[in-house]
């Protein structure tokens, strides 16, 4: 009895390509709120930090970034503003409210530095 569904029978196929409409491109308030929430959790790197990491050969794996992001979240919960995060042989100064790494150094630079203008320190293993 049933003939099955033929392509184009329920949804007519147009011969011209679909063009995005203005409403399809614009963001809805929900997607903007979700994007803001997601951005608030992501770790960002300042231009200065990116340069220092590149100069010093510092490369972070995704699992390392996850640990660091979790540490920044913990610092935020406790009200930290600027934190020193030490992870293995890497030290980073992070502005906690903006979730931005301000600078980074490797073990060699870490030993010969005095860290100022921080209100917390996090040592990760």
The secondary structure of the chain as a DSSP string is ----PPTTTSSPPPSSPP---HHHHSPPHHHHHHHHHHHHHS-EE-HHHHHHHHHTT----HHHHHHHHHHHHHHHHTT-SEEEEEETTEEEEEETTTTEEEEEEEHHHHHT----S-SEEEEE-
pLDDT tens, position by position, 44-81: 999 999 999 999 999 999 999 999 999 999 999 999 99
How many CB atoms are located within 10 Å of the residue 52 CB?
A: 20
Compute the average pLDDT of residues 10-39. 54
The first and second tokens of residue 123, run together, are: 């040592």
* Percent over 90 (pLDDT), the chain: 58
Q: Determine the pLDDT at residue 45.
A: 95
For 76, counting Cβ atoms within 10 Å of its Cβ (0-12 exposed, 13-18 middle, 19+ buried), the class is middle
What mean pLDDT is reported for the chain?
Answer: 80
Does the reported pTM lie above 0.75?
Answer: no
- pLDDT at position 91 over 80: yes
Q: Give me the long-range contacts of 2-11 (CB less than 8 A, separation at least 24).
A: none
Confidence of residue 39 (pLDDT cuts 50, 70, 90): low
């Amino acid at each position: 009895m049933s003939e099955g569904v033929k392509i184009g029978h329920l949804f007519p196929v147009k011969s011209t390509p679909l063009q995005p409409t203005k409403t399809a491109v614009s963001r809805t308030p929900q997607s903007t709120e979700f994007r803001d929430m997601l951005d608030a959790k992501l770790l960002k790197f300042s231009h200065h930090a990116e340069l220092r990491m590149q100069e010093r050969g510092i490369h972070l794996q995704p699992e390392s970034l996850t640990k660091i992001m979790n540490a920044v979240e913990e610092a935020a919960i406790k009200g930290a503003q600027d934190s020193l995060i030490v992870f293995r042989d890497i030290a980073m100064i992070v502005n906690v409210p903006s979730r931005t790494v301000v600078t980074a150094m490797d073990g060699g630079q870490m030993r010969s530095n005095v860290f100022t203008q921080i209100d917390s320190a996090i040592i990760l293993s």
